[in-house]
């Protein structure tokens, strides 16, 4: 049986659903300069807003002007919590101001009040794939140590303002995506950084991560000063990387591949750098800006819980020129975007991570991006129901059979939103269909999908309706 207090809900990110990109004093954020793409065409990152380009996050699904109706639908679903993020550029439009933008703060007051009216607990990410564009263009983003102070000021402003409305926080969304330096999306959305051709990108990435670890830990310390009951989590992307085969070389390759995911949680949770990373820095002769004071902050600012996303798994194969190469798993089916569908991977990662840290875990993203067919107001998304059902069953096994402590489950996404990687709206995730297409055309009207009614039953029965 799941606990009575299990946090059922849904998740979204400000830049992917709010819209109103330049209203009420909001500054431009790094996602506001990303065009739309597709499964085969990457999004472009432009130098500012260029006439004639289409930027899907500008309108998104316009939750900003629909928040009351949308939250009412979440209440109808039975949400106990709602995971959202704050758009940093609504609070500090350029990121380096001394005083926050009151209109931005007031907007989130209204959103949180609306949630609390229905007994829905807000779960808030401070930086979900965005930051003020000016911090990227003027300071070089997280390459710059000054970012620590800007972030801590922003975090502290939010903690002070919402100390009586929000208990659960997370600092950086999927911080460990930074490790994948070959995809420019990660450096840009995660840190406001575009790597230069002639730099050692890996060394820069470790520097960026270090500054973010210090900022996150300092934020934890500030949070506890403001309200000792705050629960502050990290947020990691935890798709398992299995060995491609049972050859010992592949098994070792999988360990090395998973180190790249765990490096980030090791620092957030244990408050210190793991030995495998220190060895790597030594071998590569990296020279990072890191002070004794930074290390003390990291040591004392460890997180309370582990928030993570789970969508898919992959595999690692030994390669003589590097630690491993990633190979898709031939044993599992894939979505239309090539994402492996592997429910057992969720139970697997819950076990592995819980055994490693013994901290409560919060599944803050899990979901199925798919093309939905709209038939006169009806959307039969049984493929999404199947995906979520299979994953929830594996989560139940992890809790009920393996003893893993899971705080809650907030599928991605509560409602259709703009896809982060492709900028499409057609890659739909929600329980609620939004009538906008990839060019932002449509009425914006909301419709309940078949999964809406299914998920409502799951929450109502605390998942007792799903047996294994």
- For ligand BG6, the binding residues (CB under 6 A) are 13, 16, 129, 173-174, 309, 365, 369, 412, 419-422, 427
Active site annotation includes 365: yes
- Helix, coil or strand: residue 433: strand
- Helix, coil or strand: residue 461: coil
SS (H, E, C) 39-78: CCCCCCECCCCCCCCCCHHHCCCCHHHHHHHHHHHHHHHC
d(CA 417, CA 247): 42
Q: Which residue number, 90 or 427, has a Cβ lying nearer to ligand BG6?
A: 427
Q: Which residue number, 90 or 128, has a Cβ lying nearer to ligand BG6?
A: 128
Whole-number minimum distance, CB 256 to ligand BG6, in Å? 22
Whole-number minimum distance, CB 125 to ligand BG6, in Å? 9
Sign of CA dihedral 238, 244, 245, 249: negative
Q: Which residue number, 258 or 420, has a Cβ lying nearer to ligand BG6?
A: 420
- Give CA separation, 379 vs 21, 341, 372, 432, 451, in Å: 29, 21, 7, 9, 9
| Catalytic pick among 121, 174, 222, 424 | 174
| Number of helices (H), then strands (E), in the chain | 14, 13
Active site annotation includes 174: yes
Q: Which residue number, 180 or 405, has a Cβ lying nearer to ligand BG6?
A: 180
For the beta carbon of residue 105, count every other beta carbon within 10 angstroms. 17
Q: Which residue number, 129 or 139, has a Cβ lying nearer to ligand BG6?
A: 129
> How many residues in total does the chain contain?
468
Phi, psi (degrees; rounded to nearest 5) at 194: -115, 120
Q: Which of 42, 12, 14 is nearest to 29 (CA)?
A: 14
| Catalytic pick among 130, 365, 394, 424 | 365
Q: Which of 150, 19, 147, 148 is nearest to 92 (CA)?
A: 150
Q: Which residue is nearest to ligand BG6 (CB)?
A: 421
Q: Which of 196, 91, 201 is nearest to 152 (CA)?
A: 91
Whole-number minimum distance, CB 259 to ligand BG6, in Å? 20
Q: Which residue number, 245 or 421, has a Cβ lying nearer to ligand BG6?
A: 421
Phi, psi (degrees; rounded to nearest 5) at 421: -75, -35
In sequence order, what DSSP letters do the residues of 437-458 get, joined into one string?
Answer: -TTS-S---EEE-HHHHHHHHH
Strands 121-127 and 81-85: parallel
Whole-number minimum distance, CB 83 to ligand BG6, in Å? 10
Whole-number minimum distance, CB 188 to ligand BG6, in Å? 13
Whole-number minimum distance, CB 163 to ligand BG6, in Å? 26
Q: Which residues are catalytic?
A: 174, 365
């Amino acid at each position: 049986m799941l606990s009575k207090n299990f946090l059922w809900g849904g998740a979204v990110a400000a830049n992917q659903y709010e819209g109103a990109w330049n209203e009420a004093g909001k500054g431009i954020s790094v996602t506001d300069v990303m065009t739309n793409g597709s499964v085969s065409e990457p999004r472009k990152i432009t130098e500012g807003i260029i006439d004639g380009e289409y930027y899907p996050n500008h309108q998104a699904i316009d939750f900003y002007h629909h928040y009351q109706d949308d939250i009412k639908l979440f209440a109808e679903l039975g949400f106990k919590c709602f995971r959202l993020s704050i758009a940093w550029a609504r609070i500090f439009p350029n990121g380096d101001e001394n005083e926050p933008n009151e209109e931005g703060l007031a907007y989130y007051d209204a959103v949180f009040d609306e949630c609390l009216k229905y007994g829905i607990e807000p779960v808030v990410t401070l930086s979900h794939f965005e930051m003020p564009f000016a911090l990227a263009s003027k300071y070089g983003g997280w390459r710059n140590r000054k970012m620590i102070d800007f972030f801590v000021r922003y975090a502290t402003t939010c903690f002070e303002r919402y100390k009586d409305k929000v208990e659960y926080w997370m600092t950086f969304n999927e911080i460990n995506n930074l490790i994948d330096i070959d995809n420019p999306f990660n450096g840009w959305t995660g840190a406001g950084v575009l790597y230069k051709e002639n730099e050692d990108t890996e060394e820069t990435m470790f520097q960026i991560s270090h500054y973010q670890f210090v900022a996150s830990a300092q934020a934890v310390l500030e949070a506890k000063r403001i309200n000792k009951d705050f629960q502050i989590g990290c947020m990691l992307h935890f798709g398992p990387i299995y060995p491609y085969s049972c050859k010992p070389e592949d098994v070792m390759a999988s360990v090395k591949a998973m180190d790249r995911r765990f490096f980030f949680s090791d620092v957030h949770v244990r408050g210190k750098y793991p030995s495998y990373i220190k060895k790597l820095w030594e071998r590569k002769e990296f020279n990072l800006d890191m002070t004794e004071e930074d290390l003390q902050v990291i040591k004392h600012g460890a997180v309370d819980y582990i928030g993570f996303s789970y969508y898919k798994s992959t595999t690692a194969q030994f390669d003589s020129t590097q630690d491993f190469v990633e190979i898709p798993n031939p044993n599992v089916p894939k979505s239309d975007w090539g994402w492996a569908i592997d429910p057992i991977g969720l139970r697997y990662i819950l076990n592995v991570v819980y055994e490693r840290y013994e901290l409560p875990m919060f599944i803050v993203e899990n979901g199925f991006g798919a093309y939905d067919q709209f038939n006169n107001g009806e959307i039969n998304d049984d493929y999404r129901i199947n995906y979520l059902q299979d994953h929830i069953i594996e989560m139940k096994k992890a809790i009920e059979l393996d003893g893993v402590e899971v705080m809650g489950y907030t599928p991605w996404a509560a409602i259709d939103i703009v896809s982060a990687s492709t900028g499409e709206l057609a890659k739909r995730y929600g329980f609620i269909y939004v009538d906008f297409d990839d060019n932002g055309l449509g009425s914006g009207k909301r419709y309940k999908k078949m999964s809406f009614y299914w998920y409502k039953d799951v929450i109502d029965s605390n998942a007792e309706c799903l047996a294994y």
